Amino acid sequence: MDTLDARSNHRADTFRQRIVRDAPLAFLIGGASAAAAWGSDWTTVFAPVPWLVSLVFVGLPHGAADFTVSRTAWRGRSLAVVWFWYLVAMAAVGCCFIAAPAVTLTLFAIASCWHFGVAHGDTDGPCRHRGQRSIRAVARGYGVLAVPLLAWPTATAAAAGELASFAVGPDGASGLFPARAVMLLGVCLAVIGGLALLTEVLSERSRVGGPRLLHSLLVEVSAIVALGWCADPLFSVGLYFLVWHAWRQMEPLAESLCAPRFSSWSDLWTGLARVHVAALPLLLPALVAIGTAWWAWAPEQTLRSLAITSIGAYLVVSPAHEVLAELLQVPAVRPAHPANACPRAPTS
């Protein structure tokens, strides 16, 4: 019996490894390799695709599940207070974007790096202290945007200008993001991320299990950097967001909704379905808002402008999403789960 259980657990762990890490990593490496081999032009043509897929599958739904996930932690007045401040945060970001789009987009880029890095680092096991968690986040997340900013400053500036035009119009957005300033931000993020990566390498290499963790980390970071260097920035960031960041959040999100771990194909489809159903209360209004903004304010109704519009939605909701995710991780803030709720801890 013990032998059968061990084999079953091994198969489950192997399946999870293939689905949660290996498959997303293969997409990143495949995208980078194809862009390096055949040029970047095709990535420019298909740049909107990851963002459009994210609208209905994994990407936007993984954040839209916030409402259902938060209901497993709070009830009544407490839940109302949490969601009042959630809405206030979104409104504040929207006002800041209208008033100062360049500053808001710059801060959004930095905050996105942090959010990506925290989510990535949390999948590598528990941290010994908060400082280690911060180093992990910077080492893993800053390269996601640093490399596109550094390698593709003109294209990145153009995409940022398209998004800023929603706030100030096409004429007001012209020249708002000089390519030189975009490249400088990329250099700063790359230096900070590189120093954090070096710090983690030096601190982990002599610890038990450290070399194995570092090997995986360096492979992952190399794939992210290669994709960002070789592919159009809208494509590289969109593909990373869809297949790496959002996809790898599916399992912990599904567990927080009482779904089983991704140990088989059946568990995988059950978990994905549960997350997407849980996302519907926020997902449907978000899709209506994105569609309305795209139709009303985009200079042209193209797939690229729809992708840019979706990034605007992430800009508005991401700070509130990140704060809620952090609150859900703090036992002193997160109350005990009610009897009819799943006891597993929610995730970011």
Give dist(CA 218, CA 213) in Å, integer.
Answer: 9
Give, for 164, the enclosing helix (H) or strand (E). helix 153-173
Q: Which tokens is 280 given?
A: 């519907």
DSSP annotation of 153 reads H
Question: Is 149 in contact with 156 (CB distance < 8 Å)?
Answer: yes
Question: Is 116 in contact with 104 (CB distance < 8 Å)?
Answer: no
Give dist(CA 248, CA 242) in Å, integer.
Answer: 9
Please enumerate in sequence order all residues whose Cβ is within 8 A of that of 234, keeping only pairs 6 or more positions apart, or say none: 44, 47, 48, 51, 155, 159, 304, 307
- Identify the pLDDT of residue 336: 45
Q: Which of 141, 112, 130 has its CA nearest to residue 329?
A: 130
> Helix, strand, or coil here: 347?
coil
Give dist(CA 113, CA 85) in Å, integer.
Answer: 23
Question: Is 282 in contact with 314 (CB distance < 8 Å)?
Answer: no
Give dist(CA 252, CA 122) in Å, integer.
Answer: 11
Please enumerate in sequence order all residues whose Cβ is within 8 A of that of 84, keeping only pairs 6 or more positions apart, or say none: none
Ramachandran angles phi, psi of 128, nearest 5°: -75, -30
Delimit the domains of the chain by residue range: 2-328
Question: Is 232 in contact with 47 (CB distance < 8 Å)?
Answer: yes
pTM of the model: 0.89
Please enumerate in sequence order all residues whose Cβ is within 8 A of that of 125, keeping only pairs 6 or more positions apart, or say none: 213
Give, for 199, the enclosing helix (H) or strand (E). helix 179-204
Give dist(CA 330, CA 259) in Å, integer.
Answer: 22
Give dist(CA 102, CA 89) in Å, integer.
Answer: 19
pLDDT by residue for the chain (348 residues), tens only, comes to 566 556 667 788 889 989 989 999 999 999 999 999 999 999 999 999 999 999 999 999 988 887 787 777 677 777 777 788 888 888 899 899 999 999 999 999 999 999 899 888 877 766 666 778 888 899 999 999 999 999 999 999 999 999 998 888 877 777 889 999 999 999 999 999 999 999 988 887 777 667 888 888 999 999 999 999 999 999 999 999 999 999 998 988 888 888 888 888 999 999 999 999 999 988 999 999 999 999 988 878 899 999 999 999 999 888 877 777 666 655 444 444 443 445 444 444
Give dist(CA 169, CA 255) in Å, integer.
Answer: 43
> Helix, strand, or coil here: 57?
coil
Long-range contacts at 285-293 (CB < 8 A, ≥ 24 apart): 286/60, 286/64, 286/313, 286/317, 287/55, 287/56, 287/60, 289/313, 290/55, 293/166
